[in-house]
Amino acid sequence: MGEFDTVKSLLHRIYGEKQGLRALARILPLIESFPRRSRKKSGFFSQEDVVLITYADSLVRAGEAPLKTLRGFAESHLKGVVTTIHFLPFFPWSSDDGFSVKDFHRINPDLGTWEDVSAIGGDFQLMFDYVVNHFSAEGEWFANYLAGKNGFTDFAIEVDPSADLSMVTRPRSLPLLSEYRKGDGSSVHLWTTFSADQIDFNFKSLDVLEKMIEVLLLYAEKGAGILRLDAIAYLWKEIGTSCIHLSQTHDMVKLFRALLDIVAPDVMILTETNVPQPENISYFGSGRDEAQMVYNFTLPPLLLYAFVKQDARLLSEWAAGLKLASESTTFFNFTASHDGIGVRPLEGILPRKELDTLIDFVRTNGGQVSTKRNPDGSDSPYELNITYVDAILADPASQQADKFLASQAVQYALPGVPATYIHSLLGSRNWTAGAEQTGRARTINREKLDADQVRRALNTPGSFRARMFTSYRHLIKTRKQQPAFHPNAAFEVLDFHPQLFIIRRDAADQTLWAITNLSGGSNRCVLSDIGISGPVIDVLSNQTIDTLSLELQPYQYVWLSRR
């Protein structure tokens, strides 16, 4: 089978035979124009993989490009800790803190240059956002579309406003169509899934396909080891359908995978689909032909609920059902990100009454709630906007770092690759002033921190940032040394106590039990009940445990290893 056969087959399936051949003819020169790199490792993952999620300017210093500031911080504080840095969109943008991309090829000059990115790539694997669903209404591409320039006339999706769009799944409580005026004076209504500044690409156009594949290959050439496919679930539209997870969308992800297999086979695809778990894991495809990682979107809200209720049972039941499609796939485990805590993944797990309890809890602790539009015109909760630190601590005055770290210990014990948002690593709290300034709920979790102030806080023993950062780094470093925490190592969730989350991980040369007390009270774990006989070592404290039972203090977590 030739190396282009899969690409040809997918293009025929998406576009039909004739259009598929035209598409192939336009793609082949692109593939030949980019340098190919061979696979450097046999597998995609290891237990050493840890991702830091950050904006390029999450840390700032006067007179210095933010990418240089971040590089300095990463070199001094994160080498040997995280292996991958996920840069949220660092391209020229017009809104949504980077996700309305004006130019997909350049780094925002206010942040730095591609050379700065490459310098960071010398010490860390790089992860880029591939914003593949939409483009900015203020960029050159949209100006070319409005002007009717050759190659851009069908870049956007024009829709008759009288069309029945009631079946379309809406992730926001905003109009689906937005009106614009073209250069010839005509008025058009365009598909805008997320906002009027974010114009959905028309992937039925071969002009769009060619330009976005060029972007895909450019990011691989610039050193991306992981590509995050932003909002990928909505990529293909067919009026009369839900316009989410369509077969053409899955085939497009498979096409991206097939192209990368030719040009850069080490590059992984991560799909961002904030939806219930069965829909989410569908992007694993056959286990090799689609995404290598999917976001574990159910984890953040369900883990928060477990801490609010001080009850591990629902969390344990859900975690016990985590299944992977193959050894070439795994979960992207996170609790916090630049976005809020999505609640759609709780559908079918948490009754609406319990979700309302969670919503009230978040509002009580300084957070906000964003909504989406339903087919009947009503609105329902979409995400909780609050830092994960404040969500878990449940008290703006609390400095209880150990309670927050207990939540992270659960995340880091699960099968998958763990990812930590920079504000969680640094113990950041709700930026309510920022949310008030912008009028956007998500700003509460996107503060730009003064790098020098952060350094001083980290160098001040006993400060909240220092206690959080030091303990979190120790957690990460310890995890990286345990073979049982390989993303694909076997696991079993043990449900022996309603307030303890217990998971056993098994590798060829190590068995490890991760036990976390999710409550504010002490709890006893009988070790023989969970299969432990004889002494084990808590690898976090390096203490030998040879008792029949273990008394866990409030929010205590242990990783017990037997090699």
Q: What is the pLDDT of residues 515-561, one digit of tens each?
A: 999 999 999 999 999 999 989 999 999 999 999 999 999 999 999 99
List the catalytic residues: 230
Domain boundaries, the chain: 51-132+205-485, 490-562
The chain-wide mean pLDDT, for the chain, equals 96
Contact 140, 199 (CB under 8 A): no
Q: For the packed helices 5-15 and 247-263, what is the interaxial angle rounded to 10 degrees?
A: 160
What CATH number has the domain spanning 490-562? 2.60.40.1180
Q: For the chain, how far is it from start to end, CA to CA, in angstroms?
A: 44
Q: What distance in Å separates the CA atoms of residue 356 and residue 560, rounded to the nearest whole number?
A: 37
d(CA 557, CA 411): 12
* Coil/strand/helix, residue 256: helix
Q: How far apart are CA 556 and CA 546, in angstroms?
A: 18
pLDDT at 299 over 60: yes
- Backbone phi, then psi, for 556, in 5-degree steps? -80, 145
Q: Can you tell me which residue has the tokens 């098994």?
A: 506
For the packed helices 66-77 and 451-458, what is the interaxial angle rounded to 10 degrees? 10
What pLDDT does residue 534 have? Answer: 87
* pLDDT greater than 80 at residue 40: no
Mean pLDDT value of segment 101-121: 98
Q: What is the pLDDT of residue 1?
A: 52
pLDDT per position as a tens digit, 137-170: 999 999 999 999 999 999 999 999 999 999 999 9
CA distance 172 to 293: 25
Phi-psi region of 444 (alpha: psi -120 to 50; beta: other; left: phi over 0): alpha
The CA–CA distances, whole Å, from 227 to 132, 206, 376 equal: 11, 22, 35
Paired sense of beta strands 268-271 and 293-295, if any: parallel
Q: Confidence band (pLDDT; 50, 70, 90) for 39?
A: confident
Whether 226 shows a pLDDT value over 80: the answer reads yes
> What's the average model confidence in pLDDT over 39-64?
93
**Per the structure block, which two tokens stand in for 227?**
């590509």
Strand ordering across the sheet containing 500-507: 490-494, 500-507, 510-517, 557-562, 536-538, 543-545
The mean pLDDT of 16-31, rounded to a whole number, is 97
Task: Give the model's pLDDT for residue 311.
Answer: 98
pLDDT at 562 (0 to 100): 87
CATH number of 51-132+205-485: 3.20.20.80
